[in-house]
Amino acid sequence: MSGSRLGRILVSEAELNARVGELGRAIARDYAGESPILVGVLQGAFLFMADLIRAIPIDLTTDFIGVSSYASGGKPSGQVRLVSDLSMPIEGRQVLIVEDIVDTGLTLSYLKRNLEARHPKRIQTCVLVDKIERRQVEIELDYVGFTIPNVFVVGYGFDYGGLYRNLPYIAELEAA
Ligand code: IMP
């Protein structure tokens, strides 16, 4: 997609604010009294995570895990690699994985397997964007922000070659 350019806005800043608020309220209701640990998946989910936790008015802790699933340039490599690990054990904890997007599902299913092996009390998933048409492995999602068609998106944490993460909305990236 070299020579690509920003296309139409798929999710505006106002829509993001409203939906992240709704997700936060639902999570707060479901996890009241549980003191969950929210595990943000780097790098893409850091913006979503920052906004989401401010919309969850209950006791919670946060941690981050870094995975690399796309060769740079946006093509799926099919291989998932752990590039930075959690800072704390999660044994016996209620874990909510906070991910930016589920595309083929390979990254999230790898992560779930990896974290399950550490014996948490329970693992759930909160995903901002679901690209359901592209799924290769079945995966259960507990909280979903938006379902989008099979287009490549950038902004609000989503990047192309490391760029565009700082846009306050989600836009389609078009081939020029
Ligand atoms: P999956 O393993 O195919 O589900 O891919 C998940 C990862 O691919 C996400 O964490 C993103 O980093 C990346 N990804 C998938 N689709 C897009 C997109 O449209 N824009 C930016 N990154 C994407």
Closest CA to 104 of 135, 125, 73: 135
Q: Which residues lie below 8 Å from residue 150, measured CB to CB, with a gap of 6+? A: 131, 133, 134
Query: Distance between CA atoms of 160 and 138, rounded to whole angstroms?
Result: 26
Point out the catalytic residue in the list 59, 63, 103, 159: 103
Whether the per-residue pLDDT at 78 is higher than 90: the answer is no
Query: Distance between CA atoms of 81 and 63, rounded to whole angstroms?
Result: 18
Hey, what amino acid is at 113? R
For 115, the token pair is 């974290």
Q: What is the mean pLDDT of residues 86-110?
A: 97
Determine the structural domain holding residue 83 and report its residue range. Answer: 5-174
Pocket residues for ligand 1 (CB within 6 Å)? 44, 69-70, 76, 100-108, 152-153, 158
Which CA distances in Å does 40 have to 10, 96, 139? 23, 9, 18
Q: Which three-class secondary structure state does DSSP give residue 27?
A: helix
Q: How is residue 164 annotated by DSSP?
A: S
Whether the per-residue pLDDT at 74 is higher than 60: the answer is no
Where in 37-121 does DSSP place strands (E)? 37-42, 61-70, 76-84, 94-102
Closest CA to 26 of 106, 142, 140: 142
Quote the number of domains for the chain. Answer: 1
CATH of the domain at 89: 3.40.50.2020
> Given this model, what pLDDT does residue 1 score?
62
> Given this model, what pLDDT does residue 73 score?
53
Is residue 162 within 8 Å of residue 44, measured between CB atoms?
no
83-94 pLDDT, tens digit each? 999 999 999 999
143-168 pLDDT, tens digit each? 999 999 999 999 999 999 999 999 99
Please tell me the distance between residue 69's alpha carbon and the centre of ligand 1 in angstroms. Answer: 8
Where in 12-157 does DSSP place strands (E)? 37-42, 61-70, 76-84, 94-102, 122-130, 143-147, 153-154
Average pLDDT of the chain is 93
Mutation to probe ligand 1, out of 81, 101, 153 (largest number of atoms < 8 A from CB): 101
Does residue 103 have an active-site annotation?
Answer: yes
Query: Distance between CA atoms of 109 and 82, rounded to whole angstroms?
Result: 13
Please tell me the distance between residue 130's alpha carbon and the centre of ligand 1 in angstroms. Answer: 10
Q: How far is CA 20 from the centre of its chain?
A: 12
